Amino acid sequence: MRTTSTTDIRCKQCSALLAKRDRDGLSIRRGDMQTTVTGGDFTVAVTCYRCRALNVVTSRPPQPPAAAAHAPPTAA
Ligand SMILES: [Zn+2]
């Protein structure tokens, strides 16, 4: 049984499809060039090919600071 949960990364300004994110990482594809970013914690800045807007993509979905502050410490 395979679960495919792929999230489209779209330009915040013009909604052009910039990349796709799944459990294995982030895939950016333009024509014959494909880039895959993997790892636990990354930040990628992608310039939209259509409107030139800068989009910042992180490995984890953005969390409100309040939620992070209430989370129990994991390093202890
Ligand atoms: Zn755009």
Q: Give the pTM.
A: 0.68
Q: What separation in Å is there between the alpha carbon of 1 and the centre of ligand 1?
A: 36
- Per-residue pLDDT 10s for the chain (76 aa) are 666 789 999 999 999 999 998 888 899 988 899 999 998 888 999 999 999 999 999 887 656 666 666 667 776 6
Q: What separation in Å is there between the alpha carbon of 60 and the centre of ligand 1?
A: 21
Where would I find the H helices in the chain?
65-70
Q: What separation in Å is there between the alpha carbon of 68 and the centre of ligand 1?
A: 30
Q: What separation in Å is there between the alpha carbon of 54 and the centre of ligand 1?
A: 8
Residues 23-46: b if buried by 16+ CB within 10 A, e if exposed: eeebbbeeeeeeeebeeeeeebeb
Q: What separation in Å is there between the alpha carbon of 10 and the centre of ligand 1?
A: 8
State how far the Cα of 65 lies from the Cα of 27, in Å rounded to an integer: 27
